[in-house]
Amino acid sequence: MSRSLSLAFGVVLVLVGLLWTGQGLGWIGGSAMTGVTIWAVVGPIAALVGVVLLLRGAGRVGGGKR
């Protein structure tokens, strides 16, 4: 995966993960996901994967050029 694509997916996953977490915890209302515990679990996992992609895209974790 190219660096820019990894960075883009990383940003999107972090933002979506934060949104899902907020909805799952009931902090963000207005959807069927609000207050549903599974989203409070899936959200941080998605955000963590996003952080890994960001670090990888920045060349700090695995897959970097040698």
pLDDT tens figures, 5-51: 999 999 999 999 999 999 999 999 888 999 999 999 999 999 999 99
At residue 59 the predicted structure's pLDDT band, cuts being 50, 70 and 90, is confident
**36-51: string of b/e by CB count within 10 Å (b at 16+)?**
beebbebbeebbeebe
Q: How would residue 64 be classed by pLDDT, with cut points 50, 70 and 90?
A: low
pTM of the model: 0.81
Reduce the secondary structure of the chain to three states and give it as a string: CCHHHHHHHHHHHHHHHHHHHHHHCCCCCCCCCCCCHHHHHHHHHHHHHHHHHHHHHCCCCCCCCC
Average model confidence (pLDDT) for the chain? 89
